[in-house]
Amino acid sequence: MERLSLQQMDADWSKLIDLESRTVSPRVFVDPAIYEIEQERIFNRCWLFVGCESQVPNPGDFFTNSMGEEPVIVTRAEDGKIHVFINSCRHRGSRVCRIEHGNARSFTCPYHGWTYDLRGKLTGVPRLREAYYGDLDRDQWGLLEAPKVESYCGLIFACLDSGAQSFESYLGNA
Ligand code: FES
């Protein structure tokens, strides 16, 4: 199947769904270009359901999930606040948390041992002085966090786009 560019796809949407015959082109399900567009325009911009508050009832509780292709860790910090972090170490990008759920006080990356607390702050770097000559500002290297997180009736939603509309407005009359 011929692969179309994103620009070509934009011009081609109307051909994908035939309202009269009520058919959908198989391209919708298999074309990597459409998949790419979905990731960019839907999963990276929309509010997504990531889990339930009941999965993290206590401080330190966490579970892993994904937002589109982005792996995330959902934690409840000591102050009760729920965070959604990108599950990728700020050092070399290794997956920080590799289990599905549990209770922890911190997360230590299995690759070189960088440690993050429940608020995503970088708290531990092995051989900090020798490796970085005291020049690593740990405050700058915490886990990246979904900029928008809301809980609605016990359901946790997050959005990776800091410029996205509020969750309330996104829901509309739903
Ligand atoms: S990649 Fe995580 S500590 Fe190096």
How far away, in angstroms, is 95 Cα from ligand 1 center? Answer: 8
Give the list of residues 6+ apart from residue 14 with CB closer than 8 angstroms, or none: none
Give the list of residues 6+ apart from residue 151 with CB closer than 8 angstroms, or none: 53, 82, 157
Give every strand in the sheet of 115-117, ordered side by side.
Answer: 106-108, 115-117, 122-124
Model pLDDT for residues 103-116, shown as the tens digit of each residue: 999 999 999 999 99
CB 67 within 8 A of CB 50: yes
Residue burial 50-74, b: 16+ Cβ < 10 Å; e: rest: bbebebbeeeebbbbbebbebbbbb
How far away, in angstroms, is 93 Cα from ligand 1 center? Answer: 7
Task: Give residues (CB < 6 A) around ligand 1.
Answer: 89, 91-92, 94, 109, 111-114
Higher local confidence (pLDDT), 174 or 99: 99
CB 152 within 8 A of CB 136: no
Q: Which band of pLDDT confidence, cut at 50, 70 and 90, is reported for residue 2?
A: low
- Tokens at 112, concatenated: 């070189």
Higher local confidence (pLDDT), 17 or 2: 17
Give all domains of the chain, ordered by start, each with its CATH number: 6-43 (no CATH), 50-171 (2.102.10.10)
**C-alpha–C-alpha distance, residues 91 and 93, integer Å:** 6
Q: Which band of pLDDT confidence, cut at 50, 70 and 90, is reported for residue 8?
A: low
Mean pLDDT of the chain: 93
Model pLDDT for residues 24-46, shown as the tens digit of each residue: 999 999 999 899 999 999 999 99
Counting atoms of ligand 1 from 1, which one is nearest the CA of 109?
Answer: 2
Question: What pLDDT is attached to residue 32?
Answer: 92
With a cut of 90, say whether residue 134 has pLDDT above it.
Answer: no
Residue 22: left (phi > 0), alpha (psi -120 to 50), or beta? left
Question: What pLDDT is attached to residue 174?
Answer: 83
Model pLDDT for residues 141-158, shown as the tens digit of each residue: 999 999 999 999 999 999
